[in-house]
């Protein structure tokens, strides 16, 4: 029995290591879906409507679809590559928690977590990663795919070829949001053509363009439904200041210590400046104030109240 467990763990590790080689493939797959969709919506269906002698209403609909499609596509790609190329957050070498001697804090390596009593040693926050051979801060987890510890790690996403953590979680959520909007717009815009496939009338276009339109509709419908489920799940996680990894721990805890209320939980991810909420960027003030983005300590409610 012990040998079977060891073999299973070894196989899982090899599987995680193999995921590193999927990077360029997954990015090309995403760009391929975008390319098929662009060809079906812009070059095959709604683009020609602007140059043809159709009615004013048809031209207005085509123009509206194209403008909305391109705006959402720009935001989708911006958010996607922001997640891909943004470091999710790593632990500084030889990191140790800072101590405030004036407040009478002692070395957490000899006691327990921040603000806890020495007797409360059953749930320490200061942990040691045996794979990285260093201390790891609260809410930090080791990623077997990336081979390092990630701050406030949510999960490793093969679609973005990167871990989703403290520094790019907002970008990931925006990517899901704009992907859902884009795929929904494409699905609705191609729905008349999809219905026409099953009608008795003659459908304009070559077999190749018809097949591309059919494929784009099916792909975008599938992505819209699947992304909606992920989006709903992550909205619930943000509202409780929880990550995917921490979801089970939160269920077993009588009171989640990181829950600051829905408003502050949202601000920890998206920042305080509303102008930056819907773009993959932060203001300078937010970069200084949001602990999950640049720091390794997570203040409690009284600390936040003192700042405000």
The CA distances from residue 81 to 30, 58, 99, 243, in Å, are: 11, 34, 38, 21
CB burial string 177-193: b at 16+ within 10 A, e below: bbbbbbbbbbbebbeeb
Among 16, 146, 157, 163, the one annotated catalytic: 157
The answer to whether 183 touches 163, Cβ cutoff 8 Å, is: no
User: Is 140 considered catalytic here?
Assistant: no
Tokens of 168: 């790019």
Closest CA to 214 of 253, 240, 187: 187
Q: List residues with catalytic annotation.
A: 157
């Amino acid at each position: 029995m012990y040998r079977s467990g060891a073999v299973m763990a070894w196989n899982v590790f090899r599987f995680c290591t193999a995921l590193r080689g999927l990077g360029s493939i997954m990015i090309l797959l995403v760009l391929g879906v975008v390319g098929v969709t662009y060809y079906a919506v812009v070059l095959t269906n709604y683009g020609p409507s602007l140059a043809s002698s159709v009615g004013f209403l048809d031209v207005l609909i085509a123009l509206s679809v194209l403008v909305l499609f391109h705006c959402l596509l720009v935001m989708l790609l911006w958010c996607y590559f922001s997640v891909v190329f943004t470091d999710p957050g790593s632990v500084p070498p030889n990191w140790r928690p800072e101590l405030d001697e004036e407040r009478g804090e002692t070395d957490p390596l000899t006691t327990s977590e921040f603000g806890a009593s020495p007797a409360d040693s059953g749930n320490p926050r200061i942990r040691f990663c045996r794979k990285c051979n260093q201390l790891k801060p609260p809410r930090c987890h080791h990623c077997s795919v990336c081979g390092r510890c990630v701050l406030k790690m949510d999960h490793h996403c093969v679609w973005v070829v990167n871990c989703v953590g403290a520094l790019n979680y907002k970008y990931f959520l925006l990517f899901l949001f704009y992907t859902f909007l884009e795929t929904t717009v494409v699905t609705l815009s191609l729905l008349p053509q999809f219905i026409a496939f099953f009608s008795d009338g003659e459908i304009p276009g070559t077999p190749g363009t018809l097949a591309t339109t059919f494929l784009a509709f099916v792909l975008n419908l599938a992505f819209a439904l699947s992304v909606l489920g992920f989006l709903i799940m992550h909205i619930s996680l943000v509202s409780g200041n929880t990550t995917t990894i921490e979801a089970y721990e939160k269920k077993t805890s009588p009171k989640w210590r990181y829950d600051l209320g829905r408003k502050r939980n949202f601000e920890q991810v998206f920042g305080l400046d509303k102008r930056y909420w819907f773009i993959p960027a932060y203001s300078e003030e937010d970069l200084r104030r949001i602990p999950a983005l640049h720091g390794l300590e997570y203040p409690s409610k009284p600390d936040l109240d003192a700042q405000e």
